[in-house]
Copies of this chain bind each other. A is one copy, B any other.
């Protein structure tokens, strides 16, 4: 495979001139440019990014850290990131961490060792200290899920308000006995969503019942089933469930079905995220739509600015309540 030297030789010019043609600089005469282009074609030459990147000290690779690729919630965010990245000549590297510090470290290393220019993380909780230290020397952005105290810029929605609106919707259609299927409170979003839940109840004079709040270690389908079983066994059974992820909600749906009850007539269900599958269930799921594509766009833009050394501010985006069959009669 040819390199720039051979192209220069073939075209009868210096490597500098070839490089100029390659980078579209206009200081090359039309005649020379043609000769170089012919040589490139003849030798089937492809410039090595390794050489270029070493010289320019960049890789034009962005890392996206997600806990797991099996959660469809990330899909649209990733597309949003990719959209901006590609348009700015960056490529993205999808990295699944399984929330495992060791795996995470493999990807952090890629940044430390200059093979990637920056990181967008959607699971900052794994190892906050390491992340914080990394962010001192490298470009890091938090997306969707974030840690406030790190000083690392983030883009997210107002989780407290979103949760408040979901619960308020349930109250408005007549529910008083509303369960909250929440994530572990080590996550900021879980704490915020609980606050929104509480506020909606308080404002409507409903007393909070602690047994109506169930925590799950994970946001998956099975966790939803498990949590719903618990809820169904309560002696004063709730008539509505607000789950903080669609997968949890879909698990709940299934379990309610198994119990021979009807959604929404016996129990109404609200999810969170508006993943594709939330529209494929029976009944379709009422849920909170995060502006995922936009969130991805913004995160990518922030990261690229950060890479360029600019100051970036955290951003909070709007959300939306999507009402579907699981809460309508």
Query: Do A114 and B282 have beta carbons less than 8 Å apart?
Result: no
Q: State whether the Cβ of A49 lies closer than 8 Å to any Cβ in chain B.
A: yes
Q: State whether the Cβ of A314 lies closer than 8 Å to any Cβ in chain B.
A: no
Interface residues on A, range: 35 or more
From B94, B110, B282, A94 is in contact (CB under 8 Å) with B94
Shortest CB-to-CB span from A40 to chain B, Å, is: 13
User: Quick one: CB contact mask for A48-68 with B, threshold 8 Å, 1 for yes?
Assistant: 111101100101010000000
From B79, B86, B114, A49 is in contact (CB under 8 Å) with B114
Provided the pairs A1-B137, A50-B114, A93-B93 are in contact, do residues A86 and B69 lie with their beta carbons within 8 angstroms? no
Query: Do A75 and B70 have beta carbons less than 8 Å apart?
Result: yes
Q: State whether the Cβ of A308 lies closer than 8 Å to any Cβ in chain B.
A: no
**Distance A72 CA – B71 CA, assembled complex (angstroms):** 9
Q: State whether the Cβ of A257 lies closer than 8 Å to any Cβ in chain B.
A: yes
From B46, B50, B86, B251, A280 is in contact (CB under 8 Å) with B251
Query: Do A91 and B110 have beta carbons less than 8 Å apart?
Result: yes
**Distance A44 CA – B53 CA, assembled complex (angstroms):** 22
Closest residue of B by beta carbon distance from A47: B113
Shortest CB-to-CB span from A221 to chain B, Å, is: 5
Q: How many copies does the complex hold?
A: 2
Interface SS of A by simple majority: helix
Query: Do A280 and B221 have beta carbons less than 8 Å apart?
Result: yes
Q: State whether the Cβ of A96 lies closer than 8 Å to any Cβ in chain B.
A: yes
**Distance A192 CA – B251 CA, assembled complex (angstroms):** 35
Query: Do B50 and A115 have beta carbons less than 8 Å apart?
Result: yes
Closest residue of B by beta carbon distance from A50: B54
From B57, B69, B86, A50 is in contact (CB under 8 Å) with B57
With A79-B96, A221-B276 given, can you name 8 additional A-B contacts, CB distance below 8 Å? Answer: A48-B114, A49-B115, A50-B53, A50-B57, A59-B115, A82-B96, A93-B94, A94-B94
Q: List 29 A-B contacts (CB under 8 A).
A: A46-B112, A47-B113, A48-B54, A48-B113, A49-B110, A49-B115, A50-B50, A50-B54, A50-B57, A50-B59, A50-B114, A50-B115, A51-B54, A59-B115, A69-B69, A69-B78, A70-B72, A70-B276, A82-B96, A86-B103, A91-B106, A91-B110, A93-B93, A93-B94, A221-B276, A221-B280, A250-B280, A254-B282, A277-B277
Give the interface of A toward B (CB within 8 A): 1, 46-51, 53-54, 57, 59, 61, 69-70, 72, 75, 78-79, 82, 86, 91, 93-94, 96, 103, 106, 109-110, 112-115, 137, 221, 250-251, 254, 257, 276-277, 280, 282
